[in-house]
């Protein structure tokens, strides 16, 4: 359904930076639950420690980056709604890589979660 598309992380215009940070965290948790997929679960497990470092840096949700993050959330939610697993994985990789760049982390994904590694199995 459209549940993810109506999530605050997809339309955060009225949110403070702190609220956007929390909406983003909740959105990602919802994605893992909604996907009900070993691929997505494995990806998030592999990225959990990095994800904690990312979410500890709420500045990633400040303008002007916020519109980019919102757009990525909308495209990811749309792909999931449409059942397009290939596009959903592409959007997710792009979103995570963009976030890592924004806070100065390497884009190298952990073993098993790299786009040419574990993500494309199954």
Judge if pTM exceeds 0.85: no
57 is a domain residue: yes
Domain hosting 22: range is 1-6+15-103
88 is a domain residue: yes
59 is a domain residue: yes
Average confidence (pLDDT) per 10 residues, the chain, 122 residues = 86 83 83 74 68 58 75 91 88 82 65 45 43
What is the total count of domains within the chain? 1
120 is a domain residue: no
**Peptide bond before residue 39 is cis, with ω within 30 degrees of 0:** no
Sequence-distant contacts of 41-49: CB under 8 A, at least 24 apart: 42/112, 42/113, 42/118, 43/92, 43/113, 43/118, 43/119, 46/109, 46/110, 46/111, 46/112, 46/113, 46/118, 47/96, 47/109, 47/110, 47/113
């Amino acid at each position: 359904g459209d549940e993810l598309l109506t999530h605050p992380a997809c339309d955060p215009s009225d949110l403070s930076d702190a609220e956007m940070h929390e909406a983003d965290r909740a959105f990602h948790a919802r994605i893992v639950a909604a996907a009900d997929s070993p691929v997505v679960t494995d990806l998030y497990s592999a990225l959990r420690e990095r994800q904690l470092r990312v979410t500890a840096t709420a500045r990633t949700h400040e303008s002007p980056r916020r519109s980019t993050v919102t757009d990525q959330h909308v495209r990811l939610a749309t792909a999931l709604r449409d059942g397009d697993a290939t596009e959903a994985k592409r959007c997710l990789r792009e979103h995570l890589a963009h976030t890592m760049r924004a806070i100065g982390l390497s884009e190298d994904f952990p073993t098993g979660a790299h786009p040419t590694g574990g993500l494309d199995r199954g």
